[in-house]
Amino acid sequence: MLNFILFTTIVAAGTGGELCVSRAMKNVGEAKSFHPAEIATVVLRAIREPWMWAGVAMMASAFFALLGALSMYNVSFVVPVTALSYVAGAFGGAAFLGERVTARRWIGVALVTIGVTLVFFGKS
């Protein structure tokens, strides 16, 4: 059961955090130049964005779950299984951010899923 909680937290919180940070930065907008004043303006807008803080909190949770998983399992198992975040990212991008995911990307998602399944059931 702990395995399920750790890996679900890594994938769901990590991907959720990335989606929240992406939404925050779309709200903030991009820096028009690399001038320090412009960058400071963007950073100040970003830290006032609630989506940014939600994303950072979720990504921190995923990081600590990853530390727990790495303390118990081989990295050759943990990293491929956490690749399910690519699958979650594609679905989240489409559903939460309204992104268009092409057929080629969905095929890639399917291949990642197959690979994760092989790694997971090949665990010894």
For residue 117, the one-letter residue type is T
When pLDDT is averaged across residues 78-99 and rounded to a whole number, the result is 93
At 53 the three-state DSSP class reads helix
Residues 6+ apart with CB under 8 A from 24: 46, 49, 50, 51, 52, 55
Rg of the chain over CA atoms, in angstroms? 17
Query: What whole-number percentage of the chain has pLDDT above 70?
Result: 98
When pLDDT is averaged across residues 37-50 and rounded to a whole number, the result is 94
- Model's pTM, two decimal places? 0.86
Burial class (CB in 10 A: 0-12, 13-18, 19+), 54: middle
| CA dihedral of 85, 87, 88, 92, whole degrees rounded to 10 | 130
